[in-house]
Amino acid sequence: FDGASRVMVSNSDRARVNNNAITSNSASNSVHQQRDGLGRKHRYNFQLKPYNPEHKPPGQKDLVYVEPSPPFCEKNPKLGILG
């Protein structure tokens, strides 16, 4: 872990997913369905892109965040933040 990278989520890869989710096979909706060793390789179907294009794209084990942290150190009585 070298640092955290701010990222944007791209929905372009979701369009390629097969949308035939409704099937007549009752086993396809079974809780005990066999995976046959597929694992979780493609569990999430989106691509993370760096917020700053000059940064490298994050890898599998990189720490990422979507939104910056709120400024809790700055006083804001409107929100009840003491600073």
Q: Which residues contact 7 (CB under 8 A, 6 or more apart)?
A: 48, 49, 50, 51, 58, 64, 65, 66
Give the mean model confidence (pLDDT) for residues 54-82.
85
Please indicate whether residue 22 or residue 56 has the higher confidence score (pLDDT). Answer: 56
pTM tops 0.85: no
**Average pLDDT value over all residues in the chain:** 72
Q: pLDDT tens-digit profile of 5-32?
A: 888 876 555 444 444 445 555 556 666 6
Tell me the residue type at 61: K
Q: Residue 55 corresponds to which tokens in the numbers above? A: 């940064």
